[in-house]
Structure 1
Amino acid sequence: MSSSSIHFSLSFKEPQAHYVEIEMDIDHFEEKFIDLKMPVWTPGSYLVREFARHIEGFEASADGLPVHFEKLAKNTWRVENPHERLKIRYRVYGFEISVRTNFIDADHAFISPAGTFLYPDGHLEHPSTIQINLPEKWKQVSTGLPKSATGELHYSADNFDILFDSPIEIGNQDIWHFDAANVAHEFAMVGGGSYNKQQLSADIQKIVEEETRIWGENPNTNYVFITHNYQSGGGGLEHINSTVLGASRNAYKIDAAYKNFLSLVAHEYFHLWNVKRLRPKALGPFDYDQENYTEGLWIMEGFTAYYDNLIIRRCGFFSAKEYLNALANEFNLVYNRAGHRVQSAAQASFDTWIKQYRPDENSINSSISYYNKGAILAVALDIHIIAGTEGTKRLDDVLRAAYNLFYKKEQRGFEEHEFQQLAEQVTGLDLAEIFEAAHHTEELDYNRFFAAVGYELIDLNKDSHDLSLGIRYQEQEGRIFVKNVERGSAAWDAGLNVNDELIAINGSRLDVAGKEMEFMLEQAKEDDIIDILIARDGRIRTIHSPLRRNNKQLWSIQPKSDASSTVKALGKIWLSISE
């Protein structure tokens, strides 16, 4: 097999129609036949997306003559091997705006490799080369893949895991470079925007250097930021030496939006260590044919969701108050979702394949996000470690030790109990309560942890007497429809359904602006029974529903006035307050 080779060539004959043409040359493979597969999912985005559905015009040939093939499964083509250069041709359609899927139009192409490149079954470790043929008006290529010596727009991947983890942006993106933590960084902006290159470079340099300090080293020599700017956009996906970000093109000059973008950068860059290298056992080597289950995403994504805003605070972009408000919002997102009483953080991690990326009208009642829940478990760990070690250790030290042990020394993924054992060894503390909480729906007494560093969680809505039905509704073409019914709410118990059309309340027709609903809630009293006239599947009926106090919480994290000077000093360590 030493003389075998795999080479891909990408062309764009009809980019305006959203197609990329791929040629795959396979040379000197010994098998009688080769099973070519396309992944059904892409690392970092835990959903079976069935990328093979976008393949068209599959052909196989050798020396210009057709080679027999048959399709064995949804993502598998079996091709007879002529034991010489085998050429595979196919087209891929790409027109889905996201950080994880192909998007091709007349202006540019974003290539998500897992949805583009086939691989020979049993040969994920095989290297490959990639040649990109630019349309006449396109001039730039941005990717974390190293350039190959065979040509200017030729790239190489040591194996298919690296290829599938290296997105490619092709077009006329705005490219600039900067160094941070002794690593060369490229920024590729697509779609224009109000960004300031110098400010972005300087601010992101601070983020990179702070994260490198946390982990003890930066494992890359180069890193690429690919940012797609839209009228309204967001999201990100981490890769081994690059990331793809979504942003709103005109939001860079808005202070809050700009800080949110920096937080997104901090989040995806943190994954360079946390998940791309330090990882649960299930997340590598990957099985690209099916789901790869783990209960550990509350650590990988949740801890990262905790650190993103904390790093923005450490770099000085957030004031302490701004950071505490951002952290309090994680509690709002968990506690104001009835699903937190139904699904644990570990369950949410395991079921990400069927729940996280497939929300429906009942998701708020049946599930939580391992991002938000993991973040509040992470803050409990961090401040517990700070308080328990009198400020000599914190969660940073645990992550750095885990990276050095599992990734660098033992070169393997970890089991959760191993991670917990190491954390307890590093800190000298019993952390079982917090790790166990990830597997249960009962909430920790977070104020017990916050008090140890001089802060407390306060529900600003605790004494509110506002009333609520417990529904979310939406106007559609001049009509009002129920979109969510919260578990345990008045509407839930009364039998109001999603997709019910709301017509009138207590004999007064509802207006699309919601004024009648607001007036009714302001004038009514708790436990009043109201008559709601609805249309359900075209049939008119009346629902009799009680009114109850609005159970929505509004959390704030505030300093404790009675905290001792010693405890306050620990809080300053936590929040990087120097004064």
Structure 2
Amino acid sequence: MVLCKSLLFTLLLYLIAFSANAEVNVTINIDNPEHHLATVQVQFKASETKDTLVYLPTWRTGRYEILNLANGIRKFSAQDEQGNALLWEKVSKDSWRINNTQHKKLTVTYQVYANQLGKRTRHIDDSHAFIDNSTVVMYSEESRPQKHIVQMVVPKAWRSVSGLDFGDNHHQFIASNYDVLVDSPIESGINQFFEFEVDNRQYELVIWGEGNYDTQKMLQDLTVMVEQSKSIWQGYPFKRYVFMVHATSGARGATEHVNSTIIQRSRYKFSARKDYIGFISTAAHEFVHTWNVKQYRPEGLVPYDYQQENYDNLLWLAEGSTSYLQYQLLLRGKLLTSKEFFEDLAKRITKHQHKPGRNSQSIAQAGFDAWINESGDYGNNHSVNIYAEGYLASWLLDFDILSRTNLAKSYRNVHNQLYQQFKIPKSYNENDILAILNQVTGENYQPWWQQNITGLLAIDFDALLAKAGLQMSYGKAGAKLKTQIWTGLKTEQVNSGLKVTHVEKHSPAWDAGFTLDDIIIAIDGLRLVDKDLTTRLADFNDENTVDISFFRRDVLASKSLALVKRPKDKLKVTPLENANEQQKAFFTQWTGLEFPEDKK
């Protein structure tokens, strides 16, 4: 008989209470950092089962992708408390069965190879160790609810930092159970360390790696940013929070955790204003996750199943809404100007307009399929993204709530209610969201949901922006519109010509029959010498049809391509010169900023 998920979680809570005095001791010995190696020892309490299965998760929280983390495990062994070797066998890619373990304390030892910096899983070198514990520490079903004590054995000069509580020394950490442990990374090494306090909460900033960052600017703006959480949620889920930053030679990205975040950026991508906006926006995104996902999340992700995919069609709300709400923190803290915000909006609108996948997949479907999501050409033409389109759905929903409640309520109220009503171990589903929307607005949101979430998202951006006194335009007001030839092709230069890397669905190039990996060599019989198509196609107008010569599978071919034009300048979002008071009030309630009277 298969137990339902809620019953399994109830059983897990029972085991937590039953195992309150039990503990698991973990030692992570960074004994060969130059070669990215560590030796891990996990000491389990006496088992109640004849045999014990131990696991290493096959994915980590915050990244909905099977990562096959056990591929870095070697030299596995198991012993009882007397040091006697126990027989074992590996039974799947990420699980080991240890025989004859009943009533025996069990010690498992293995080597971990840690050289996955960009995946934010595990990385060890001679300057630091970043440990996402789900990628390093094994568990059993019995040990999962038990307290874990982790001892880092590191070079003398290293400093260890984590959102976990300290144990008996500054390299020892305590987690109340395995789920907390694997959602609390450890950064140990040569690093810079800073502390600040906001609203009786302790914050830490630890930076590994040299770069062109300004630590005082970072501290100043993080202090402002974290305080803005009160504009969305009533209450905090933490007493102490750690911002971990890696200034690297290429790795980039970030991951949220229950008491911290890890942010990776190129070491020279901090000082320029554009780059700094990228950093502080990422920090805001991950901080929003401290509530959205880490304190309330869809039922498909509660409890986490670390050995297989965790499906749910509300991942757009977990990720896309976080992308949307991060700007609430930045704007209300005046860390972003209205002009900078408008530039971001324009990019998001443009990207969506050139994503044909919006006509093929709903964001609910995209959430469920996140585990098998395809990027690149196919993804853009046939799919939507839980981050990008999730942001737009959140924006659309926010404006709808603001409109229906005459600016009295917003999407922020929805997320506060999710936090108040569905804290872990509870979870929410689609019906719960609809019930909260009804509580907030007094209206039925089922038709809206069917149209925009389970249906294909269709947004009238002109009407949406007008509500807040904004408009879309190309180029300077009153100036003649500049245009350029558009084919729908993206290419990269190779030795033999221009290799096609993307063909936008229903574009001229798509209709002409071009596809990925075609290598374009000539236009109208003349060899192509430019690094891209734009320069050469500027010689034609939108009434022309050109003959494109190209190689496909090393066979020479040609196709006719009808040219069309589109605006050359980038899309801009600007304030209306004649915005009325209602539109200005809408803008202020939306962003927390005064309406920008000067559109320049």
TM range (shorter): over 0.9
CA distance in 1, matches of 2:495, 2:536: 23
RMSD: 2.4
Deviation at 1:227? 0.6
Deviation at 1:266? 0.6
CA distance in 2, matches of 1:126, 1:557: 53
CA distance in 1, matches of 2:469, 2:572: 14
CA distance in 2, matches of 1:398, 1:176: 34
Residues 1:445 and 2:460 are matched in the alignment: yes
Q: Is the 8 A contact 1:57 1:91 kept in 2?
A: yes
Alignment-derived partner of residue 472 in structure 1: 490
Alignment-derived partner of residue 386 in structure 1: 402
Deviations 1:276-318 (A, max 9, x none): 1121111221111111111112111111111212321211122
Residues 1:521 and 2:540 are matched in the alignment: no
Q: 1:192 aligns with which of 210, 216, 239?
A: 210
Q: 1:145 aligns with which of 164, 174, 183?
A: 164
- Unaligned residue ranges in structure 1 (runs of 5+): none
Deviation at 1:429? 4.0
Alignment-derived partner of residue 210 in structure 1: 228
**Structure 1 residues 184, 537: closer, same or farther in 2, change over 3 A?**
same
Residues 1:26 and 2:48 are matched in the alignment: no
Deviations 1:36-81 (A, max 9, x none): 0111111111001111111111111233332100111111100021
The count of residues paired between Structure 1 and Structure 2 equals: 571
Q: 1:419 aligns with which of 424, 430, 433?
A: 433
Residues 1:76 and 2:91 are matched in the alignment: no
TM-score (norm 2): 0.90
CA distance in 2, matches of 1:566, 1:4: 61
Equivalent residue letter for 2:224:
K
CA distance in 1, matches of 2:158, 2:589: 48
CA distance in 1, matches of 2:70, 2:129: 18
Q: Is the 8 A contact 2:55 2:95 kept in 1?
A: yes
Residues 1:6 and 2:20 are matched in the alignment: no
Q: Is the 8 A contact 1:336 1:552 kept in 2?
A: no
Deviation at 1:360? 4.0
SS of residue matched to 2:268: coil
Deviation at 1:561? 4.3
CA distance in 2, matches of 1:424, 1:459: 39
Residue pairs, 1:341-356, within 5 angstroms: 341-355=359-373
Q: 1:397 aligns with which of 403, 409, 413?
A: 413
CA distance in 2, matches of 1:332, 1:414: 33
SS of residue matched to 1:223: strand
Equivalent residue letter for 2:299:
K
Q: Is the 8 A contact 2:117 2:123 kept in 1?
A: yes
**Structure 1 residues 300, 46: closer, same or farther in 2, change over 3 A?**
same
Structure 1 vs Structure 2: percent identity of aligned residues?
29
Q: Is the 8 A contact 1:40 1:289 kept in 2?
A: yes
Deviation at 1:535? 2.0
Q: Is the 8 A contact 1:102 1:112 kept in 2?
A: yes
CA distance in 1, matches of 2:217, 2:482: 43
Deviation at 1:331? 1.5
CA distance in 1, matches of 2:29, 2:239: 29
Alignment-derived partner of residue 471 in structure 2: 456
Deviations 1:201-232 (A, max 9, x none): 12111111101342111221111111111244
SS of residue matched to 1:304: helix
Residue pairs, 1:26-425, within 5 angstroms: 26-62=44-80, 63-80=82-99, 81=101, 83-98=103-118, 100-136=120-156, 138-149=157-168, 151-355=169-373, 358-407=374-423, 411-425=425-439
CA distance in 2, matches of 1:256, 1:354: 32
SS of residue matched to 2:542: coil
Equivalent residue letter for 1:387:
S
Q: Which moved more, 1:325-334 or 1:185-194?
A: 325-334
Equivalent residue letter for 2:127:
D
Deviation at 1:274? 0.7
Equivalent residue letter for 1:279:
R
SS of residue matched to 1:258: helix
CA distance in 1, matches of 2:387, 2:171: 38
CA distance in 1, matches of 2:235, 2:534: 55
Deviations 1:507-551 (A, max 9, x none): 22112523xx33442222335332222222222222333223349
CA distance in 1, matches of 2:362, 2:290: 26
TM-score (norm 1): 0.93
Equivalent residue letter for 1:381:
L
**Structure 1 residues 233, 180: closer, same or farther in 2, change over 3 A?**
farther
Q: Is the 8 A contact 1:383 1:450 kept in 2?
A: no
